[in-house]
Structure 1
Amino acid sequence: MSRSDVSRYEILLPYYGDVRLMQDAVRSVLAQSGDDWRLTVVDDGREPGVPEWFEALADPRVRYFRNVRNLGVTGNFNHCVSLAEYEYLVLMGCDDLMHPNYLDVVRAAAEREPEAAMIQPGVEVIGTDGLPFDTLVDRTKRKIYAPKGPGRDLLGGEDLAVSLLRGNWLYFPSICWRTEAVERFGFRADLGVIQDLALVVDLLVAGESLATSPEVCFSYRRHAESESSAKAFTGSRFEEAKRFFRETADRLDAHGWHRAAKVSRLHLSSRLHALTLLPGAARHAGRPGVSAMLKHAAR
């Protein structure tokens, strides 16, 4: 199907894990208004009954694929992007929820800022039980790192790079991306946790921009035992982060963005985050986990 056709929004759901939460995510997409969107689910697991559930769903707005082999998080992200055929795409988390107004908010932002490669709408954070869940990470994002202002902005350039490298206040699964922009770069295969920030940096260096809207229209689910949390307890997440921030600092210096390079080289928020995970590292990984946290925090 051509991108010139009426459909504009490709909602991609890379799936692995809890069946019930995935089904809730799918139902939240099906509640969206309009006829300019499609849901594509790419199953990277082997949970029983999932193909049959989608077959029984029999909704022409939904495509379902099951990978022949497990591609992993980043591999499945890139595979999802390769299936996108519409002007915009969303890489939604398989346990997150769209509110019924999600696409209404995104449509308005795309109309207002058609040049933006990324649209970040308002987000609420929920826990495993679906209830509001306010963590230190999210309070810090909201109160310290996220820009202050009326909420409807077009951001870009070195100023936005500085802001996000100081502390990534975006909620990746809620972002609506211009498909062409994501296809140009894709997700780095050598990154398993911080690949979303790497893509944003690629886009900013290429001159792309981010539109923001304050209307809350998406529920981001935060799990204590998410892949990023589990990797953090062993220190592997922070080894990846350290490598990314150092490489990015060198790249931004070469690009002439010296303020952003300095912030990336310092990566203070990542180091402070490691300190907040010390109790969890002690419980889940013992002395090696604690040592990894302290090593990262001390650079």
Structure 2
Amino acid sequence: MTQLPSVAICIPTFNQAQYLLASVNSACTQTYPNVEVWVADDASTDETPEVMAQLCQKFSQLHYYRQPQNLGIAGNNTWLLNQPKTEFIVRLDSDDLLMPNYVETLVKLLQKYPEAGYAHNAVQEINEFGENRSIRRVSRTQEMQNAEDALRASVTGYRVAANICMFRSKVLQELRFYEDRPEFVEDYDLSVRIANAGYGNVYTDQILACYRVWTDVKKARSKRKHLQLKGYIRIFEESLLPAFQSRGWDTKIIYQQRRKFAIIHSAYCFLPIFNQAERAELIDLLKKLGDSPALRLRLLLLSWGLAPIFEWQHHAELRLKGIVKGWISQLRVDS
């Protein structure tokens, strides 16, 4: 009997003990039999070690390692994804969940399309209490997307429903994982580099995971806006621009998208959590990302206190896109 391909589910974590139990349980109870689960604790200061001690007693396929010092998102992920010696690797954040048939379904897809570097899927968005919110989908009709199409599409952003993906291990090894890559947008950067290396991706509209969106009371995520902006700059300059230039493609769209990104993210920089020096740094990063007369006008309007209006507009556009994607998905099912 032919042995099934081996799969590792890798869960990086930092101070999310309250979600670990459900996340690890979802990874360890897959319908697919040949699965091992790895958890890398990036020197958490909460009850993560105690929670993991209980889980390690329950699940024999579970491996737990606690970093002696905090490595950051990219560093911890690079260490973690480099540990398994399996054919496929799943990256799962410690506050997210997998449906029982996640691994079984995506392994079959990656076997069907050997030219795909990773597989992804529609997700159920949940809140911090585990209650269902909206469904996230990717607006595309084809199951397989080739490398060149993926590279062109990536100019407009990270083209997945959520950063819960199954990768071919050899592809991650070829690209040296997240080593020396930007923080906070490391998954987007990796998807660009995978496409540049000649690998496509495969997508299913099945809901195979739960992606958690929680109320950021202390604004910890917003406080990392400078990391996100620095990351976008590096993606455009170090990944996208060289990829387009090497193929002789028109790079005008890259500069257009940089300016668009800067405008989209400008309102966040005027949240009251930022002091004057922090806001000045963020504005400087916005201009480095994509300076334009439109950005300077937006910054002027934001300085007059109009940030809530632009924030509402952006979230309304995202909700509308979600509704349209749902309609497209239903039409596909009905046909």
TM-score (norm 1): 0.83
Equivalence map 1:1-299=2 (5 Å): 6=4, 8-47=6-45, 49-57=47-55, 58=57, 59-134=59-134, 146-149=138-141, 152-171=142-161, 173-185=163-175, 186-223=177-214, 225=216, 228-232=221-225, 235-259=226-250, 261-268=251-258, 269-277=260-268, 281-287=270-276, 292=282, 295=287, 298-299=291-292
How far is the alpha carbon of 1:285 from its aligned partner?
0.9
What is the one-letter code of the residue matched to 1:99?
A: M
> Match of 2:122, as an amino acid?
G
**Conservation of the 8 A alpha-carbon contact between 1:7 and 1:37:** no
Amino acid at match of 1:44: D
- Report the secondary structure of 1:117's partner residue: strand
Q: State the one-letter code of the partner of 1:45.
A: A
Cα distance in 1 for partners of 2:255, 2:290 equals 13
Structure 1 range deviating more: 75-84 or 186-195? 186-195
Structure 1 residues 124, 168: closer, same or farther in 2, change over 3 A? same
Query: Displacement, 1:118?
Result: 0.5
Rg larger in structure: 2
Query: Partner letter of residue 69 of structure 1?
Result: Q
Contact 2:17 / 2:47 at 8 angstroms: preserved in 1?
Answer: no
Q: Check the 8 A contact 2:7/2:88 in 1, yes or no.
A: yes
Identity of aligned residues (%): 18
Q: Cα deviations across residues 163-221 of structure 1 (Å, max 9, x unaligned)?
A: 12113231453110001100111214241122212222221111111011110011111
Distance 1:164 1:31 in 2: 33
Q: Which amino acid is the alignment partner of residue 82 of structure 2?
A: S
* Unaligned ranges ≥5, structure 1: none
Distance change >3 Å, CA 230–CA 5, structure 1 → 2: farther
CA distance 1:106–1:125, shift in 2 (3 Å): same
CA distance in 1, matches of 2:194, 2:187: 11
- RMSD of equivalent CA atoms: 2.7
Letter of the structure 1 residue corresponding to residue 236 of structure 2: F
Aligned residues: 281
